[in-house]
Amino acid sequence: RKAAELFLMKADEAVSLKGFFTVALSGGSTPKGLYTLLAASAFRDRIRWDKIHFFWGDERHVPANHADSNYRMVDECMLSKAPVIPENVHPIPFGNGDAKKAADDYEQTIQKIFRLGKGGFPKFDLILLGMGDDGHTASIFPGSEILHEKKRLAAAVRIEKNNSCRITLTPPVLNGALLIVFLVSGQSKAETLKNVLEGDYEPERFPAQIVNPTDGRALWLVDKAAGKAVYMKT
């Protein structure tokens, strides 16, 4: 609910200021409740859906109708139930199985919509992120070379542990956001969250630490179970 209120507030601000709102959505399971809530009447009727450009922070490299697709999850929970403008929904393309091409195409879409010159970086109004039990965020996993990416906006990454491929926004894009909201829930995240928020700076081990917005700010919305190691500290 807090995340939904923030989404609504940031969307209203951006639309009043510049006529549109840009958001990169996170995948996985935690944000399903948020997306469902935004499409429910209490919020749906207050959001300027026609002024929103929807992007994704990362995507499993699968077709849009695949069970693992983040696009499919967001579409089922929210986009299919709200009056969005289809041209303003920018899924990370599957690229006929060519992950590098998919990342390149996605990068070009971002450059077009944000009207970026060569070497420019987007400033998303809002980026939603989750955090894995291993401290990854988006599809930036421990030890990933993407942690050091300074130029690309999006990149294809191979996930050794399950031999899968993903496309992810890169750290400079995440850190260009005006607001980043992490949504973290569940006991399984508690230890990692304590390391991320209170441990030494070791983004190789805990990639979520790479998120440190240049001009914007990062906000962690954490439930009691996930925050018990950190929460009890106060």
Binding interface with ligand 6PG (CB under 6 A) = 26-30, 57-58, 70, 130-132, 136-138
Q: Least distance to ligand 6PG from the beta carbon of 127, Å?
A: 11
CB of 171 to ligand 6PG, least distance (A): 14
State the residue number with the nearest CB to ligand 6PG.
130
Give me the least distance between CB of 6 and ligand 6PG, in Å please.
17
Residue closer to ligand 6PG by CB (options 12, 164) is 164
Give the contacts of 67 (CB within 8 A, at least 6 positions apart): none
Residue at token pair 């041209």: 87
Least separation in angstroms between residue 57's CB and ligand 6PG is: 6
Do 170 and 154 contact (CB within 8 A), yes or no?
yes
Which is closer to ligand 6PG, CB of 12 or CB of 204? Answer: 204
| CA–CA separation, 24 and 174 (whole Å) | 9
Encode 181-205: b = buried (16+ Cβ within 10 Å), e = exposed.
Answer: bbbbbeeebbbbbbbbbeeeeebeb
Beta bridge partners of 23: 54, 126
Residue closer to ligand 6PG by CB (options 83, 186) is: 186
| Minimum CB–partner distance for residue 120 and ligand 6PG (Å) | 24
Strand order of the β-sheet with 126-129 is 52-56, 21-25, 126-129, 179-184, 217-222
Evaluate whether 138 touches 191 at the Cβ level (below 8 Å).
no
Q: Which residues contact 223 (CB under 8 A, 6 or more apart)?
A: 184, 185, 186
Instruction: Supply the minimum distance, in Å, between the C-beta of residue 84 and ligand 6PG.
Output: 20
The terminus-to-terminus CA distance of the chain in angstroms comes to: 23
> Which residue, 162 or 234, is less far from ligand 6PG as judged by CB?
162
